[in-house]
Amino acid sequence: MAHPKRKTSKTRRAKRRTHKKLDIPSISICPHCKQTKPPHQVCPHCGYYKGKKYREIKEKKPKK
């Protein structure tokens, strides 16, 4: 197997890894309930998308 002739420097290694990072997920606000939600998806809080109700959301019962 081939072996590297020179040690890869820290700078060269860092330049190669600059694109390997996590992006912050984008967040939009639901116009119906004003809660945060992922863009282009049905709101998990109220079930509306583009002014239409697509999903029934069950109320969470408080634990006793």
Q: Residue 4 carries which DSSP code? A: -
Give me the residue label for tokens 């072996």: 3
Note the pTM of the prediction, 2 decimals: 0.58
Tell me: the pLDDT tens digits for 8-49? 999 999 999 998 888 898 999 999 999 999 999 999 999 999
53: helix, strand or coil: strand
- Determine the pLDDT at residue 59: 80
Q: Would you say 28 and 37 are in contact if contact means Cβ atoms under 8 Å apart?
A: yes
- Determine the pLDDT at residue 9: 96
Taking alpha carbons only, the member of 61, 59, 37, 57 closest to residue 47 is 57
- Predicted confidence band of residue 2 (pLDDT cuts 50, 70, 90): confident
